[in-house]
Structure 1
């Protein structure tokens, strides 16, 4: 499956939260996420547009591989593979011993919602600011999913230019400036 995502920087989460409540969206909770990103020892994920992340949230650990972003879409669309992990510290030790190195750490407070087959995240990202994301899983090249994501974001008041950069890319870009 492909994750189709629209992310935008927002000044105020309250109007989006109110729109979600008015539509009867389900609030799935709030959580702190601590994401550790790794780079491959033999190829630079920045060049191949891939990502390997270990996420700690609510006592759970998930390793995620993200494939290169798909072209020909105004949204961020990419393959995403998730694996629940029992012990993140052991996983991180294995990755380091295999030659992977930590690229960056991203911390955020995330408010999770679901509505009409979509996941909506209202994020406060350390050192970056406030964002809203709408994502729907679909098949590669499914333009109807892209439309649904855009329409839902607009109806919730998530306007402005979609950001196709990941939080990792935004954090790394901040380091360079």
Structure 2
């Protein structure tokens, strides 16, 4: 599935939350997410612009592969494949046994909202600050998906400069990866 995402750093999540309520966005959940990122033994995901993540969100575990960012979008667009697993800890041990190495762990409090054809996430990311992500759920249903996502951002007061880096990339740039 192709994911199209707008990510913006914000100063006041409460103001965005208020705008979402005014626009009748539906709060789906509030959860602490813990994301373990791994690098492959046969290629460097930092060089190839890919990611392998094991996410714990409450009692739910998901393994995600994120492909290279797609050219031609002024927002982040990339293939994303998700698979629920019974135990992320066991999954991590399997990957590590196969030669994958932990790169970093990203922790965030996230609120998920359903707004029109998108998911809006209000994120408080440990060590990084507050962000809003707007992800288009079905980009094939929209004629110009990047412009549509930007317009949704404007409707809820999210108008800052789009961030194309992932939380992992921002964290690593700050020198907060996993010590080896």
TM-score by length of 2: 0.94
Report the counterpart of residue 85 of structure 2 in structure 1.
Answer: 85
What is the CA–CA distance in structure 2 between the aligned matches of 1:119 and 1:50, rounded to whole Å?
A: 22
Segments of structure 1 that go 5 or more residues without pairing to the other structure are: none
Report the counterpart of residue 130 of structure 1 in structure 2.
Answer: 130
Please state how far the C-alpha of 1:139 moved relative to its aligned partner.
5.0
Post-superposition Cα deviations, 1:20-63, rounded to whole Å, max 9, x if no partner, equal 10111100121000000000001000010000000001100000
Post-superposition Cα deviations, 1:122-163, rounded to whole Å, max 9, x if no partner, equal 0000000000010103457x7611111000001111111100
Structure 1 position 94 matched with structure 2 position 105: no
Structure 1 position 157 matched with structure 2 position 171: no
What is the CA–CA distance in structure 2 between the aligned matches of 1:143 and 1:79, rounded to whole Å?
A: 18
Within 5 Å, give how 1:16-165 maps onto structure 2.
16-138=16-138, 144-165=144-165
* Cα RMSD after superposing both structures: 1.3
Q: Could you say what secondary structure the match of 2:11 adopts?
A: coil
Distance 1:54 1:149, change over 3 A: same
What is the CA–CA distance in structure 2 between the aligned matches of 1:68 and 1:100, rounded to whole Å?
A: 19
Please state how far the C-alpha of 1:108 moved relative to its aligned partner.
0.3
Q: Which runs of 4+ in 1 moved over 3 A?
A: 137-140
Report the counterpart of residue 170 of structure 2 in structure 1.
Answer: 170
Post-superposition Cα deviations, 1:101-124, rounded to whole Å, max 9, x if no partner, equal 000000000011001110000000
Structure 1 position 9 matched with structure 2 position 4: no
What is the CA–CA distance in structure 1 between the aligned matches of 2:127 and 2:14, rounded to whole Å?
A: 20
What is the CA–CA distance in structure 2 between the aligned matches of 1:168 and 1:30, rounded to whole Å?
A: 21
Distance 1:139 1:23, change over 3 A: closer
Q: Could you say what secondary structure the match of 2:69 adopts?
A: coil
Segments of structure 2 that go 5 or more residues without pairing to the other structure are: none
